[in-house]
Amino acid sequence: MRIIKKILIALASAIKVIIKNPFVATFWILLAFGIYAYVTWKADKDKDESEKEIIAITENVITDLKEIGEWEFYNITTEELVDTTITGLISEKQLTLIYKGTLRLGINFKEVQDDWFYSPHRDSVFCLLPKVKLLDENFINETNTRVLHENGTFEPNVRAEMTRRAYSQMKERNLKASNYTIAQKSAEQGITQYLANFGYKYIEVMWKE
């Protein structure tokens, strides 16, 4: 209570001085206006500098990721056995091949939309990413294809059809929801760590439906 009384007494004394001396009043008004103007200018300047910094860092992140292009987050190395039998009038031909391939799941950052990255503050960022996908359809390394059994001579179109079957069977067997989930979780961890290197503390990764 004593402190409040002292403050009130000081204010009353100041008001009396201002009333008695208009020059003092003008001085204090101009001083208050000047302080307010400076504080406002400084806040606007800091805000502009912060926004410029956010824009610059955002551009760097987007540029770097687009230069990375395809970012693989999970791969599945697999083998597929494919055989075929061709029966003729007097003979039967058989061919059995083992194909090897690696299916790579990830994101191609050259394909993301312009609004996928949003940073409202210097330490915060929101990412809206496309679903993880198979990065390369040509996942069979035909140089590693192994002949398990061959009886007879086969035309190129027969081997091409066997390769097509191997592709189809590998995709059906390996592109399961569980593998996409693994790849997506790995992507969230990888992208979060990557963005943290730019100084972001609050990172949220979201996925398009």
Tell me, what's the pLDDT at 47? Answer: 46
Contact by Cβ (8 Å): 109, 72: no
pTM: 0.69
Chunked into runs of 10 residues, the chain (209 residues) has average pLDDT values of 56 58 56 52 46 57 77 95 84 91 93 78 84 93 89 89 95 95 95 87 87
| Closest C-alpha to 124, from 195, 189, 184 | 195
In this predicted model, what pLDDT tens digit does every residue of 49-106 receive, in sequence order?
445 555 555 676 767 777 878 899 999 999 999 999 888 767 788 999 999 999 999 9
Task: Print burial letters for 63-92: b (CB count within 10 Å at least 16), e (below 16).
Answer: eebeeeeebbbbebebebebeeeeeeeeee
* Both tokens assigned to 97: 């091949």
Contact by Cβ (8 Å): 125, 117: yes
Contact by Cβ (8 Å): 73, 132: yes
Separation CA 117–CA 64 (nearest Å) = 13
Separation CA 110–CA 197 (nearest Å) = 21
Tell me, what's the pLDDT at 120? Answer: 78
